[in-house]
Structure 1
């Protein structure tokens, strides 16, 4: 194994140790009551090491934010390449995420979900991610429209709104204490209903 590989492996182990320690403390005591210094002590690293890996405290919880923001736009872009309308492409991608119980869309242990929803800071950060995801969707949809056209913005708002509703409902189900398998079955049916309510996309100008 090369020195470079060993360094990368060590970095990943350190990152995981920090994340594990933070998650444990957040679940036990609540996100807002835990300090970066306490996380560093629990992980056996310096405080600066924690902030080097996770610049914002929220990043320790919402470490899948990049996929959360970019995943929907990527699915829409891939659908365009395959000739699949945006709504269908997004629905297919979302239902696949339900099948694999993907934490990006809201599948999580109940204590984690409760910790998340009880923190005003984390809820505010989540709202930012929802807005960023909608902006990414608008950018992906805008490829087919003239610059400044309002259509991709409106369509992104519809798609982003559907995803926001589904995320909220999934978290509600997790908090209810249902098993993940039962949640997945019920949520799949709800997701199909939500996507069926979305209007077919308009035809872009030729």
Structure 2
């Protein structure tokens, strides 16, 4: 078992890193920002993590007060969820996602990818934008559809809603990320994918600044 070490500094950043800087910890938080998940779901969403290491990281995050267990009402089993304090990591993760934009331009390059990861990524890239009118559009990647909803309160991204939006843009992940990050214009993105529906729905979301 890996021994957890501390930076030993009376500094907010150092103490935060004592909790979340271990490998996989923030990726576990990413998964739980989407919603509560069972152990098997977490393992499926974190390719290459060993079952022992996942158990260890969950234990550390539980002990730190970032993660809690709750009843999964669908199976009556155990699910993991962020505590209210753990949910406050959303802003830190959004900042890291925005900081990573230059790293994402080249595409996956053989890295694994799962469409649900875009829920946190797109929400993070849209954070802080001012939307002039309510709008809804779908983003289809590898068969999954993310529904993006915006209004004066901000943005929300939901995976695989039962009712698909009228306007759906299908493209590769790198195109979706480029559009959300503002590195591609609406027209550039559409030329690299397929739009079913109205261009104005995409523009209302991704042209906002």
User: What TM-score does the superposition give when structure 2 sets the normalisation length?
Assistant: 0.31
Larger Rg: 1
Q: Which has the higher helix share?
A: 1
Q: Which has the higher strand share?
A: 2
